[in-house]
Chain A
Amino acid sequence: MILKKIKWILLLVFISSFAYAQKPDDVADSMQLDEITIMGSPYKKYAAGAKIQTIDSITLQQFQHGTLADLLEQQSAIYMKKYGNGMLSSISFRGTGASHTAILWNGINLNSLTLGNLDFALVPVFSQEEVEIQYGSSSSLYGSDAIGGAIYLSNSPTWGKGLKLGVQQDIGSFDTYFTGVDLNWSDAKWSSQSKVYHKSAQNDFSFQNNLVFQKPEQRQLNAAYQYYGVLQNLNYKINNQQYLSLSGWFNFNDRQIQPTMPSNDQRFQNSFTEIQDQNIRVVGQYNNHSSLGYFNVKLGYVHDYQLFDELSKIATSRTFSSLKFEKELFQFLDVNIGANWNHIWTDVDSYERTITENRNDVYALFNFNLLPIWRLSVNIRQAFIENFKAPMTPSLGSDLTLLQKNNHLLNFKTVVARGYRVPTLNDRYWPRSGNLNLSPENSLSGDVGFSYQYNNRKNQFSLEGTYYQMKIDDMITWLPSGSIWRPKNVQEAEINGIEATTNFKTNLWQMKLKTALNYTWTNARNTIGVEGQSVNNQLPYTARHMGNISQQFQYHNWWLNMNFNYTGERFVTTDNRQKLDDFLLTDIQFGPKISFNKDFLDVRLKINNVFDVDYQNVQYQAMPGINYHLSLSFHYN
């Protein structure tokens, strides 16, 4: 049944992409806007050979009312493990675990210090401007946690654009409401960007509960959530060489925890739980770009607070400072050296004491443009963590242009890198169970791939294919010893896979067409498991096959987007004796963009899960069937 649907979709896609394409926005997005502002990750230059995906602003616009979990799920072939609708969403990059991805905002790693991972449903897309994804181990660039990949969130100031205002109001199924205000003001000296957002949802969707006695039709209980936040970026251009910036982001999230299908019953309401999160992140920067080089100083403060069921508090704070210096030497070498300092302190009820810790990094990155066709990156980073020995993490990458003529561009890319992850504060300091002798988890990964682009005035086509191989050692698992559970460095995993991405942009009969296709094949196995059991089986919640197709049509001022997202079969446990079925989800978005001189109103109607598919992402967690969402977004320029 699913295969049939795929054939139909592929046919549709191929018909629509039969013509030529036109020059995309992506190329413009990645160029520097101004001589002193850099878009995206400042480390991209040093990531020769790695697969990097940038989410363009038009795509971000489609997900404004959602979270980073929704965006990544549909626009990349990364698996988001969702514990229910709008609930905890943890990332699985190339078959790795939730704590194996570094996610950075203005250089600060957002992963929780106690748990080691980030709930991607806590990052509203509305709060972000630029999202860049780097696949594979990259601790040389991003530090701890960058084993499966890294995600870089950033924003760049614009100057001299005057006042721009965006107001968005959404309404959707299950009592879902979203309001967002985005106010930008800039002149030659000052640039300010303010965002305020609020989302709430009752989330009481109906579903057939096939797991309980009599298989009744039920409404989902205890799954309501709301989040709101404020983000402020302020930039001051001292002169053409220097500017100061200050970014502050406050996010509040209150979420009931969706019970599993067998627990979805009013009689169990005493066990229903709720969780509140508050995050404060502040970063101040000084940038100096002159003939001497590029110099950046950062000072930051992060406070993460979580209250579980109004009972147990988990809070960590850290102050962060970094120095960075970048220079171009001899016209072919870029050098970037720097250091970070982090001071961390905890306020966790369960620890029964305050833990403080210092974590520092030094790094040196080198980018060689040896020949016009050959780019080589050699990077190294060393972390220094109190009471802990972190490994040195080098990386070596190469990007070689094989063919560049007549609008064709073919590159051959390879990269080898080490990654590591510091054990979490819970792993090391949990009372009675914490193990201070834990080693870091570490990885070695290699990619080999090619990227092909065809660009002429009217069309664009690109195809990128990567084969990767990765080995992760000393993975930490909590194991019972009598009645107490303790973390140990036990497991080893080997992962290899193929990623393919293709993009078309075409014009057909006055319509602009844009197609994006992602496919991954992942083979992830435990080579050393627990007690010698279940080795060489596919890791839990790692689909062998995953893919998505995003098809966009634009006719005059009307838009139509279709997204098809396929998640393959996943096993629930390491012995592969229980599995979750594969599923294909289809979403459609359409509507007009109504212009009034420079201002415009974007109207979008979204239909999610068009074919009312009954599926489970995480075992026993119900997900909604077909549902609707209307978005009205007004922009004043």
Chain B
Amino acid sequence: MNRIHRIFWLFFIALIAFSCDEGDNEVTPRGQFTNGVLIVNEGNFGSGNGSLSFYYDQGDSLLNGVYEEANSGTIIGASIQSVFSTDELVLIITNSPDKVEVVQREDFEVETTSIAGDDIVQPRYATVVNNTAYVSCWGPWGENFTLPDSYVAVIDLSTFEVTNTIDVGDGAEGIISLGNELFVADSYSNTISVIDVASETVTDQIEVDNGPVQMVLDADNMLWAACSGAFITQGSVVKVNPQSKTEMARWQPEGFSISGKLAIDGDQNDLYWITAAAFPETTTEIFTASIADTEAPDTPMIEGNNFYGIGVDPDSGDIYVGDSQGFVGDGYVQRYQSDGSKLDEFQVGIGPNGFVFY
């Protein structure tokens, strides 16, 4: 081997040796995302500038542009509607263009070419059951801005191919699994569609308020949905019994419009949702209530402007609020203790709309 080759190998070995420095107790090295919060930054619609940020609990450090960092500068290039995480994979659901990006949970490196095509039209949210992903999709626009052809796309996560599409109610949004069933919020209507996983068919449609968007399950396995009202009604937070398929309660805080964003704490006992005051006000609020409460709270816990995302740390109970700052630039995440007192805030990407806690 000539001299140049030898030097090259020496250099190469040295590079390998020095790059593997996994300390046990130091700051989490790049490429591992644990003990922290993944922040979903929606981006401006049509501008392709959605991004992901990761906030590490230890050392209070923040990494913006997680995807770019992990994938040598390539970008998601779309606006991110939501993210769903399993132990191995993270599904990034985007619009404009419509696709499902699949990255490895461990280091956010791309696992496979994004899933896109005629079966993925305006995807919104996802859930995973038994190595199969179920993605709620609005479908194409109908006349006068309606969404009559919404469906759930069924994706086999071993082949990453769409195996089936299941027609649901108009404007499919939030999707949640419980037992052998999937519950899909039909946001352009007033129902929650129920899908039997085995037969991949809709077995029921539960009537609730207009415009259900996001849903959570509580400690008693009851289903809660935040309904925006869809310009028809005021909006409300409804409680649904997923066994009897009936609405159990409806909370309508006076004078506040529900935005549709909803979160629950680690014990699954306390709900949090965002409301937006009527025009010309631009204020938004965070309301909270216990699942045991009998009526709607009438005063908000936190007030501010441009609240766009809500999440609760299951371990600490800290409340994470995404502040979109009007989408004119990078937004902020505000952190509050569970009693509503503010901890701090930090700047992330454009329009933070959701959180995944690791």
Contact = CB atoms under 8 A, between A and B. Distances in A.
B74 A481 contact: no
A268 B99 contact: yes
Interface of A: 210-213, 215, 259-263, 265, 267-268, 270-271, 477, 479-484, 486, 529-531, 533-534, 572-575, 577-578, 619-620
B29 interface: no
Contacts of B48: 260, 262-263, 619-620
B318 to A, nearest CB: 23
Given A210-B74, A213-B74, A477-B326, 17 more contacts: A211-B73, A215-B74, A263-B77, A477-B328, A480-B306, A481-B279, A481-B282, A482-B279, A483-B228, A530-B328, A533-B328, A534-B328, A572-B49, A573-B330, A577-B329, A619-B49, A620-B49
Contacts of B350: 573
Interface stretch (B7-15, B111-119, B263-271, B335-343): B111-119
Contacts of B113: 213
A632 to B, nearest CB: 40
Contact of B276 (A262, A482, A575): A482
A213 B75 CA distance: 8
Interface of A (DSSP majority class): loop
A265 B75 contact: no
B69 to A, nearest CB: 14
A213 B47 CA distance: 18
B131 to A, nearest CB: 22
Interface in B269-302: 276-282, 284
16 contacts: A213-B74, A213-B113, A260-B48, A262-B48, A263-B77, A265-B116, A270-B98, A271-B96, A479-B282, A481-B279, A482-B284, A484-B279, A486-B279, A529-B328, A620-B47, A620-B75
A366 to B, nearest CB: 42
A480 B97 contact: no
B66 interface: no
Contacts of B279: 481-482, 484, 486
A482 B257 contact: yes
Interface of B: 47-49, 71, 73-78, 96-99, 110, 113-114, 116-118, 121, 140, 228, 257, 259-260, 276-282, 284, 305-306, 324-330, 347, 350
Contact of A213 (B110, B282, B330): B110
A535 B182 CA distance: 47
Contacts of A484: 279
Contacts of A534: 328-329
A481 B330 contact: no
B227 to A, nearest CB: 13
A265 B97 contact: yes
Nearest to A260: B48
B232 to A, nearest CB: 14
Ordered nearest first, which 8 A-B pairs have the shortest CB separation?
A262-B77, A482-B276, A575-B329, A268-B97, A573-B329, A267-B116, A263-B97, A530-B326
A510 to B, nearest CB: 52
A619 B43 CA distance: 13
B74 A270 contact: no
A490 B333 CA distance: 23
A270 B121 contact: yes
B53 to A, nearest CB: 12
A574 B350 CA distance: 12
B217 to A, nearest CB: 25
Contacts of A215: 74
Given A531-B305, A573-B350, A268 B329 contact: no
Contacts of B280: 481, 486
Contact of B329 (A212, A261, A533): A533
A261 B74 CA distance: 10
A530 B49 CA distance: 20
A481 B328 contact: no
A619 B118 CA distance: 27
A575 B331 CA distance: 10
A262 B330 CA distance: 20
A261 B77 CA distance: 8
A236 to B, nearest CB: 50
B96 A483 contact: no
A574 B327 CA distance: 10
Contact of A577 (B74, B140, B282, B330): B330
Contact of A480 (B71, B73, B324): B324
A479 B351 CA distance: 13
Nearest to A578: B49
Nearest to B275: A482
Given A270-B121, A531-B305, A483 B329 contact: no
B77 A260 contact: yes
Contacts of B259: 482-483
Nearest to A263: B97
A103 B104 CA distance: 52
Given A261-B77, A481-B282, A482-B259, A213 B325 contact: no
A481 B308 CA distance: 11
Contact of A531 (B75, B110, B325): B325
Contacts of B47: 260, 619-620
B148 to A, nearest CB: 16
Nearest to A574: B329
Contacts of B325: 530-531, 533
Given A260-B48, A573-B329, A577-B329, A620 B257 contact: no
Contact of A481 (B96, B110, B118, B281): B281
Nearest to B304: A531
A383 B110 CA distance: 58
A387 B257 CA distance: 31
A83 to B, nearest CB: 11
Given A482-B257, A531-B305, A573-B350, A267 B117 contact: yes
Contact of A262 (B97, B282, B327, B347): B97
Given A262-B77, A620-B48, A479 B326 contact: yes
A213 B73 CA distance: 9
A483 B211 CA distance: 12
A4 to B, nearest CB: 25
A261 B276 CA distance: 35
Contacts of A271: 96-98
B256 to A, nearest CB: 10
B77 to A, nearest CB: 2
B49 to A, nearest CB: 7
B116 A212 contact: no
Nearest to A618: B47
B73 A210 contact: yes
Nearest to A537: B329
A263 B96 contact: yes
Contacts of A486: 279-280
A620 B276 contact: no
B62 to A, nearest CB: 13
B153 to A, nearest CB: 14
